[in-house]
Amino acid sequence: MRRAWPDTMKIVPSDITPYEKYLSRRTLLAGGLGLAAAAGLSGLTRTAQAQTATGAALTYTHNAEYSVTDPPNSFKDISTYNNYYEFGTDKSDPSENAQKFQTRPWTVVIGGECEAPGTLALDDLLKPHPLEERIYRMRCVEAWSMIVPWVGFPLADLIKRFKPTSKAKYVEFKTLMDPKQMPGERGSVLDWPYTEGLRMDEAMNPLAFMTVGLYGKVLPNQNGAPLRLITPWKYGFKGIKAIVSLRFVERMPVTTWAKSAPSEYGFYANVNPAVDHPRWSQATERHIGSSLFDQRRPTLPFNGYANQVASLYTGMDLKTYF
Ligand code: MTE
């Protein structure tokens, strides 16, 4: 059954900014020729944005190795244009409806094929993991993109702690099931609780990030507090929010979107400009935010992270395994 994503992705040729033009515009800005425009962007510095972020401040180091240098989207863009069906299906619903969501106490259950399963209070789960900031390029299957300064720690660090066995081929993640707090879960727009999965080598890739903050502060509820996943080479829907369980499993988990519409959303969900979504092209994307960049530009394979992740899929037909 088709549901959920609005069918607004009709692209006409005039929408498309050729990539060379996009790059040359960036070069012009960097060279100071677009000063007025650049002034608009530099006003959106990370420091200023961090001040408008509302959560408690976090202590972290910036990880330049895993960060892009593009200017991040504003805190406002990132925290008011959201997908979080537990709080409604419109982009503005999560920021309006998630404000009272309780993120403490919070427990995460880790189990399945591992030597050291456990049930941990979130703060104990976080303790051994120093936090870092990574500015990631994000890409939604609906063909829009943003640049987001997340704060978190590598998923691999957490996984190693629980000692998965050789039977662990995938990790399955689940979101809290609490229809009292999450009004969307009282309806059947999706099969609850929201479920996601990664193959073990994907989960161990250094880019896979457990996220607890944004712009240096604790995650806003609408962005997935208190704990969410970010896999920047995949579509945003893999970034499951409000995680309460991780389970190491032998068989590929049935993920929420794949269950909802298997012909539209595959398990791998790798950003692939060469494979159209059944209802829209994936070849280009619209960058949300500053009007300067809020234009279509070509989608990059693996969202620009091919060097780090393409080898995970060697030998796989990515049209079949989408
Ligand atoms: N996680 C849960 N639990 N429920 C959801 O509806 N939506 C996904 C993902 N994680 C979703 C979720 C989708 S479709 C996207 S694009 C991203 O969250 C959006 O993350 P953002 O709102 O922080 O940009």
306 occurs within a structural domain: yes
Q: Tokens for 304?
A: 């620009």
4 occurs within a structural domain: no
Q: What is the CB neighbour count within 10 angstroms for residue 21? A: 12
* pTM as predicted: 0.87
The average pLDDT across 171-193 equals: 98
266 occurs within a structural domain: yes
Q: Tokens for 169?
A: 């081929």
The per-residue b/e assignment along 266-284, b for 16 or more CB within 10 angstroms, e otherwise, is bbbbbbbbeeebeebbbbb
Task: Give CA–CA dist 235/229, Å, rounded.
Answer: 12
CB 190 within 8 A of CB 197: no
* 105 upstream amide cis, omega within 30 of 0: yes
Residue nearest to atom 24 of ligand 1 (CA): 82
Q: What is the rounded (10 degree) CA torsion for 289, 293, 294, 296?
A: -140
- CATH code, domain carrying 297: 3.90.420.10
Ligand 1 atom index nearest CA of 138 = 24
Mean pLDDT for all residues in the chain: 87
45 falls in which pLDDT band (50, 70, 90)?
A: low
Q: 70 CA distance to ligand 1 centroid (A)?
A: 22
Residue nearest to atom 6 of ligand 1 (CA): 84
Write the pLDDT tens digit of every residue in 79-120.
999 999 999 999 999 999 999 999 999 999 999 999 999 999
97 occurs within a structural domain: yes
Task: Give CA–CA dist 226/272, Å, rounded.
Answer: 30
Task: Give CA–CA dist 137/189, Å, rounded.
Answer: 28
Write the pLDDT tens digit of every residue in 262-282.
999 999 999 999 988 999 889
Q: Phi and psi for 69 in degrees, rounded to 5? A: -100, 0
107 occurs within a structural domain: yes
Split into its structural domains, the chain has a count of: 1
| Sequence-separated (6 or more) residues with CB below 8 Å from residue 44 | 71, 72, 74, 290
291 falls in which pLDDT band (50, 70, 90)?
A: low
Residue nearest to atom 19 of ligand 1 (CA): 83
Give the domain range for residue 94.
21-313
Task: Give CA–CA dist 57/128, Å, rounded.
Answer: 18
9 falls in which pLDDT band (50, 70, 90)?
A: very low
- Least reliable range by pLDDT among 42-46, 215-219, 288-292: 42-46
Helices 19-30 and 35-42: crossing angle in degrees, nearest 10, is 80
Residue nearest to atom 12 of ligand 1 (CA): 240
Element (H, E) at 198: strand 195-199
Q: 237 CA distance to ligand 1 centroid (A)?
A: 5
Task: Give CA–CA dist 1/190, Å, rounded.
Answer: 11
Question: Which residue out of 140, 178, 228, 241 has the highest number of ligand 1 atoms within 8 Å of its CB and is therefore the one to mutate?
Answer: 241
- Least reliable range by pLDDT among 106-120, 219-233, 272-286, 302-316: 272-286
Task: Give CA–CA dist 54/77, Å, rounded.
Answer: 14
Ligand 1 atom index nearest CA of 175 = 3
105 occurs within a structural domain: yes
Tell me the CA end-to-end span of the chain in Å, nearest whole number. 18
Bridge partners (DSSP) of residue 111 are 247
Question: Which residue out of 83, 93, 182, 212 has the highest number of ligand 1 atoms within 8 Å of its CB and is therefore the one to mutate?
Answer: 83
Q: Is 302 left (phi over 0), alpha (psi -120 to 50) or beta?
A: left
Quote the distance between the C-alpha of residue 119 and its chain's center.
25
Q: Phi and psi for 116 in degrees, rounded to 5? A: -130, 60
At residue 294, the pLDDT reads 63
At residue 50, the pLDDT reads 74
30 falls in which pLDDT band (50, 70, 90)?
A: very low
At residue 49, the pLDDT reads 76
Asked if residue 25 has pLDDT above 50, the reply is no
CB 199 within 8 A of CB 169: yes
Residue nearest to atom 8 of ligand 1 (CA): 237
12 occurs within a structural domain: no
242 occurs within a structural domain: yes
* 179 upstream amide cis, omega within 30 of 0: no
Write the pLDDT tens digit of every residue in 49-75.
777 888 899 999 999 999 999 999 999
Residues with CB under 6 A from ligand 1: 82-86, 140, 175, 194, 223-224, 236-237, 239-242
Element (H, E) at 156: helix 155-161
